[in-house]
Amino acid sequence: METLMQEFEKTPRNRINRIPDRGHYDADTVYQILDEALICYVGFIDDGQPIVIPTNHARLGDTLYLHGAKASRMLKLLQEGNPVCVSTALVDGIVFARSVFSHSINYRSVVLFGRGRLVDNDTEKLRALKAITEHIAPGRWAEARLPNQKELDSTTVMAVEIESASAKVRSGPPKDAEEDCGLPVWAGVLPLSLEPGDPQPEARLETGLEIPWYVSSYHRKSDRN
Amino acid sequence: METLMQEFEKTPRNRINRIPDRGHYDADTVYQILDEALICYVGFIDDGQPIVIPTNHARLGDTLYLHGAKASRMLKLLQEGNPVCVSTALVDGIVFARSVFSHSINYRSVVLFGRGRLVDNDTEKLRALKAITEHIAPGRWAEARLPNQKELDSTTVMAVEIESASAKVRSGPPKDAEEDCGLPVWAGVLPLSLEPGDPQPEARLETGLEIPWYVSSYHRKSDRN
């Protein structure tokens, strides 16, 4: 789905104050991180208390979709149009500097802001559930049994129109102060990534069913690259 | 450091309402997840707006430590004693069910609640920074150059006494409805884990410095296991 957003306006809400060079406000960077992340963290307020809940998500255009059971506290609070903040971070590596002070993490993170809207028609609901399924494993929607009306009715889908967002990215080697560079301390980057293991077929699987391509060659890199 | 907390009291704030069987309230489970997670997501309120920021952390006993630069908005707001919620999730796998509806993620997540306290003495500050460094890579504090007074003064450390918390854990195979089990759709679990790649030494590294053991054999499994 097409995005309308090109660049998010810098405001006090989304501005990267700490190390502003790491800040990105273009929708391409923000959305690529959001799409690569398997889960996100949804922040909202319940009676003066901040709450952060990890959950699945998907993005279509400038809309973030979340889903859950009807009884979910998070979804109840969000559908009242309350402000929401969603964050996620991809950890790319550990940055070992010679000094403790210069240690860091290589990461790509997103923080976005919007308000919840209950998705109350089945067309948009199905489109969102398809996006969430395809976000987890592109190709899966075409093969799995699709939701029936009862399942659809028992699922709440929330839309968050992305009003404001920014990304923060750190990459590359450690940056020790000049006077530390001669110290006899190993320095460098240890890359980290979320990697798949061997697929574990369910016990009662019909014989002759091959492991699908989107499972056997699973990766989280976005097609936007 | 010893923990005083054995079991967190179930209250409306930390109770797992959705699929209560997945809820855990014992400090062992909660802290093991918190310790294994490389980063966490800190939720707080800024003028009525929920904000969620990914950051490094470490736990000592029943205290969570966060750190950052003096100018950090998050740390400024937290040191005023405002309520904070911290969440993190370890993704263990994707659960492919035969029906879209029964898809899931295997995960271990934590949500905890407390209030920020500025760490204003160097002894506790150094203890916290050591914990944060050792949380990233156990063994590193003994080898890297330790913070000098100037670096210490420019770093803000926050303590969050963990008042309330819960963990939520899903593991195991998909659970399709009986009538779906004959469908010709592959079902099973694809394990996922954060894995290290090959260490990348910094360009100007002194010759003869070997890659430390905590880098070459890096893993995030907690010693508590």
d(CA B69, CA A137): 38
For chain A, the average pLDDT equals: 93
Distances (CA, A) of A214 to A193, A205, B182, B189: 18, 18, 21, 13
Q: A1: pLDDT confidence band, cut at 50, 70 and 90?
A: low
Backbone angles phi, psi at A190, to 5 degrees: -105, 110
> What per-residue confidence (pLDDT) applies to B225?
39
Does the pLDDT of residue A17 top 90, yes or no?
A: no
The beta-carbon neighbor of A89 closest among B39, B146, B176 is B39
**Closest CA in chain B for residue A155:** B101
Q: Is any Cβ of chain A less than 8 angstroms from the Cβ of B100?
A: yes
Does the pLDDT of residue A223 top 60, yes or no?
A: no
The beta-carbon neighbor of B188 closest among A71, A143, A200 is A200
Inspect the interface and report whether the beta carbons of B68 and A18 lie closer than 8 Å. Answer: yes
Contacts of B107 (CB under 8 A, 6+ apart): A39, A54, B89, B90, B91, B92, B168, B169, B170
Comparing CA positions, the residue from B186, B183, B192, B184 lying closest to residue B220 is: B192
On whether ipTM exceeds 0.90, the answer is yes
User: Among A33, A75, A100, which would you mutate to test the B interface (most chain B Cβ atoms within 10 Å of its Cβ)?
Assistant: A100
Inspect the interface and report whether the beta carbons of B144 and A99 lie closer than 8 Å. Answer: yes
User: Among A55, A78, A96, A164, which would you mutate to test the B interface (most chain B Cβ atoms within 10 Å of its Cβ)?
Assistant: A96
State what percent of residues in chain A have pLDDT above 90: 84
> What per-residue confidence (pLDDT) applies to A76?
83
Q: Is any Cβ of chain A less than 8 angstroms from the Cβ of B47?
A: no
Does the pLDDT of residue A92 top 60, yes or no?
A: yes
If you average pLDDT over residues A103-126, what whole number do you get? Answer: 96
d(CA A164, CA A178): 38
DSSP conformation class of B145: B
Q: Is any Cβ of chain B less than 8 angstroms from the Cβ of A150?
A: no
> What per-residue confidence (pLDDT) applies to A225?
39
Tokens at A94, concatenated: 């550990």
The beta-carbon neighbor of B133 closest among A50, A103, A210 is A103
Does the pLDDT of residue A224 top 80, yes or no?
A: no
- Cβ proximity of A64 and A113 under 8 Å: no
- Cβ proximity of A26 and A216 under 8 Å: no
Inspect the interface and report whether the beta carbons of A180 and B68 lie closer than 8 Å. Answer: no
Q: Which of residues 63-82 of B touch A (CB under 8 A)?
A: 68-69, 71-73
> What per-residue confidence (pLDDT) applies to A222?
66
Q: Is any Cβ of chain A less than 8 angstroms from the Cβ of B212?
A: yes
| Least confidently predicted of A21-25, A51-55, A107-111, B70-74 | B70-74
Q: Which residues of A touch B185 (CB under 8 A)?
A: 143-145, 209
> What per-residue confidence (pLDDT) applies to B224?
46
**Closest CA in chain A for residue B78:** A50
The beta-carbon neighbor of B87 closest among A41, A180, A212 is A41
- Cβ proximity of A185 and B133 under 8 Å: no
| Type of residue found at A200 | Q
If you average pLDDT over residues A135-148, what whole number do you get? Answer: 97
**Closest CA in chain A for residue B71:** A18
pLDDT by position in tens, chain B (length 225): 677 889 999 999 999 988 889 999 999 999 999 999 999 999 999 999 999 999 999 999 999 999 987 767 888 888 888 999 999 999 999 999 999 999 999 999 999 999 999 999 999 999 999 999 999 999 999 999 999 999 999 999 999 999 999 999 999 999 999 999 999 999 999 999 999 999 999 999 988 899 999 999 999 886 543
DSSP conformation class of A19: S
Inspect the interface and report whether the beta carbons of B199 and A188 lie closer than 8 Å. Answer: yes
Inspect the interface and report whether the beta carbons of A215 and B190 lie closer than 8 Å. Answer: yes
